[in-house]
Amino acid sequence: MKLKLISVMIVLISGLAGNASGIESLRGMKPLDGSSGKVEVKKVPKDGDLIQRNYVQQPPLIPHKIDGYQINLDFNKCMSCHSWSRYKETGATKISQTHFKDRDGVDLATVSARRYFCTQCHVPQANAKPLVENTFKPVEAISQ
C-alpha cells in the first residue's frame, strides 16, 4: 500500500514538473469541456501516385481519400480493390502476402485477423503540418 501511494505521488509530482517546464498538450491550455477552436480540414489527394516510404518496413501510405470506407467484421471496403481477385481489374496495389500469415507465421487462405483492419497501419497522406518538430532521417545504407 505504501509503495502504491509513493508511486502515485511520484507520478503527480512529475506531472506538475512537466507543466512547469512549458510542456503543454496539442490542445493548448484550454479546459477539456471547452472548445479547442476551429479544426483545420486536411486535404487528401484524390487519387495519386504511390507515396515514397520514409523507412524500411514502413506500411505504404494510402494515396487516396478513404472517407466513408467501411471496415468492420462483416465488410472491408479496401478489399473491393486491393484483394488478389480484384487488383488487376481495378489497377490497385495487391495486398501483400504477409497479410495472409498468422502470428506464428502459418500461411492462411484468407487475410489474417491481425491484418484485416487496414487503417491500423495504413493511413492516407494529407497536407498536415507536423505536430512536433521531426528531424528523422533514415539510415542511408538501408534506404537506398
Cα 95 → chain centroid: 17
Which SS3 state, helix, strand or coil, does residue 54 take?
coil
pLDDT value at position 134? 85
| pLDDT tens-digit series, residues 18-37 | 555 566 776 677 777 777 67
Dig out the grid coordinates for 84 from the structure.
Answer: 488478389
Q: pLDDT value at position 144?
A: 52
pLDDT of 101 strictly over 80: yes
Is 126's pLDDT higher than 90?
no
Mean pLDDT of the chain: 81
Q: Which domain holds residue 57?
A: 43-126
Contact 51, 63 (CB under 8 A): yes
Number of domains in the chain: 1
Quick: pLDDT tens for 67-80: 899 999 999 999 99
Average pLDDT over residues 3-14: 72
Under the banding of pLDDT at 50, 70 and 90, the label for residue 100 is: very high
Q: Within a domain: residue 102?
A: yes
Question: Would you state the pLDDT for residue 45?
Answer: 62
Report yes or no on 132 lying in a domain: no
pLDDT for 44 = 65
3-class DSSP assignment, residue 117:
coil
User: Please, are residues 54 and 136 in contact by the beta-carbon 8 Å criterion?
Assistant: yes
Residue 17: pLDDT over 60 = no
> What are the residues facing 72 on neighbouring strands?
none
| Beta-bridge partner residues of 24 | none
What CATH number does residue 79 fall under? 1.10.1130.10
Residues 6 or more apart whose Cβ sits within 8 Å of residue 126:
42, 43, 44
Residue 3: pLDDT over 90: no
Residue 108 vs residue 55, higher pLDDT: 108
In a domain, 70, yes or no: yes
